[in-house]
Chain A
Amino acid sequence: MTRVGLIRLAVIVGAIGALELACRIGLIKHQIIIPPSEMASALWTLLASGSVNADIERTLGIIVLVIALSIVLGFAAGIAIHALPRVRAALDPFFATYYAVPVFIFYPVLIAIFGLSVMPIVLIGVATAIVAMIIATLNGLDRVPRVLTKVARVHRLSRIKTAVTLQLPAAAPYLFTGVKLSVSYGFIAVIAAEFILSPAGLGRDIADAYADFNNRRMYALILFLLIVATLVNAALHALDMRFAARRSGGRP
């Protein structure tokens, strides 16, 4: 492990240890936060019982769907908007201020239209995540060196082949930033939407456990989501580093 990796690990272990100690010696009341070791044990028991499998399946399924839709549709929209400079000029102010508007205010409207189904959650998730992908795509395409377009013409590539074989790989680092943001926003939006108003899912489960003062269950589920989100982001980070290393000739 690298020196930076060791420091990173030490920070995490130190923080968990400090929390464990604070909970054990009573600095933090058990009714507020349970020790991390208890969270882990409660999570293990919960997973072993299989009682949350359906909720895990549902929530992660929705998250995957939201992320996939946001990436695919955001990328397609980004390409289309990039090709239409006037549309781009008209939309740019909206993109610049999009995340200043809390998209969640439309959640009740979506529930009124679609009912308490998966649909409002998916729509809120996509609405939260897709713009990050659109902006990243536009950003990436803006930064494709103009000379590559000339190279494409010298090689007599069609517009589609130019996009796929040159523009897409050239814009890839920026697109990957969009993917990472879409994943993060997708996670946040789905869990939050379930938390606010949903008949099922991990977000609902956490809200119910909170309402029932069931700290063991609530923290176990929070820990589960933290682990999943961290693992997904770590995997994306590793992939990003691998691509970056290829482009920078192995230099970090």
Chain B
Amino acid sequence: MSVASLPSREIHAQLEAVTRVFPAAPGAGAQPPVHALGPVDLDLRKGEFFAVVGPSGCGKSTFLEVLAGLQKPTAGTVTFEGKVVNGEVADGIGVVFQEDASFPWLTVWDNAAFGLRRNGVAAAEIRRRVDDTLAFMGLKDFARAYPSQLSGGMRQRVCIARTLVLQPRLILLDEPFGALDAQTRLLMGDEVLRLWRRTGASVLLITHALDEAAMLADRVGAMSARPGRFIEVIDTGWPRERDSTIVGEAAFGEITARLWERLRGESLKALGHAGADSMAAE
């Protein structure tokens, strides 16, 4: 890997001692407060691809939403490009969710143009950016189709296109391929790598799939069972020019094995398995 292709060391987003506690629900039979996240510290470098893996319910999505500004941290500080993020999505952040968030009443083209129109961008510029993004995402021939005419993978591409046209500098992906089959996920992974290289944006991917994280990311953060904390951050060392064929490399297997080694005990804990620590140590 050439030095020039290394992600910049400049910190793009930062979390310092961030925690998120959901308060107790009021009323009779109230649930106690839920400590969902943290304390978490992370320096996300400019232009890097960072993946977060962890057991179900460990707070991965909460982590993403706090970083995005969709939730306020209970304690700690989140900054993006040096400015504090506190419960409001900052300009330059784009989010793609796991659920199908395409708008069924709009065509693919209008879905992609949604954010630009809301921002009052000139019509000619909207046309240029939307056409360009749809071509890049392989949706050009479906511009006039409605989301219901597309497969799940293509609908997710529409949501990614809607995010990309806004030219975000930080793209947050919350398990965007969770509902897709394994082959489609691999291909979508290639597309995400392609858009990451083209846009130069920093990407943070939340996923439950260790292989996906190992294949896509420069660094993978392994999160503990709830409350989620980073128990290890693994540097994959992949070159920037990579695709899904790296799953055949020995290093890929080593990274995936290392992640599972770190997460097995945490996954057992998350399942409420007695003696999770000793089982994990076996």
Contacts and interface: CB of A to CB of B under 8 A. Distances in A.
Interface stretch (A21-29, A37-45, A74-82, A163-171): A163-171
A71 B106 CA distance: 24
A147 B118 contact: no
Nearest to B168: A154
Nearest to A161: B118
Nearest to B114: A155
A156 B114 CA distance: 12
Contacts of A247: 104-105, 146, 148
Assign chain B's interface to a size class. 20 to 34
A154 B148 contact: no
Contacts of B147: 249
A154 B149 CA distance: 25
Contacts of B69: 153
B95 A150 contact: yes
Interface in A21-62: none
Contact of B148 (A151, A169, A170, A251): A251
Contacts of A8: none
Given A148-B101, A247-B104, A157 B148 contact: no
B70 A150 contact: yes
- Which of B97, B106, B149 is packed against the most chain A CB atoms within 10 Å? B97
A169 B105 CA distance: 7
Contact of A154 (B70, B99, B103, B106): B70
A175 to B, nearest CB: 12
Interface string B81-118: 00000001101011101011101111000000011001
A214 to B, nearest CB: 50
Contact of B101 (A151, A157, A246): A151
B68 interface: yes
Contacts of B25: none
A155 B70 CA distance: 11
Contacts of B91: 156
B146 A154 contact: no
A154 B68 contact: yes
A250 interface: yes
A85 B89 CA distance: 26
Nearest to B105: A169
A154 B118 contact: no
B239 to A, nearest CB: 31
B149 A250 contact: yes
A249 B102 CA distance: 13
28 contacts: A145-B99, A145-B101, A147-B97, A147-B100, A148-B101, A148-B103, A150-B70, A150-B95, A150-B101, A151-B97, A151-B101, A153-B88, A154-B70, A154-B89, A154-B93, A154-B95, A155-B115, A156-B89, A157-B118, A169-B103, A169-B106, A243-B105, A246-B105, A246-B146, A247-B146, A249-B145, A249-B146, A249-B147
Interface of A: 145, 147-148, 150-151, 153-157, 161, 165-166, 169-170, 172, 243, 246-251
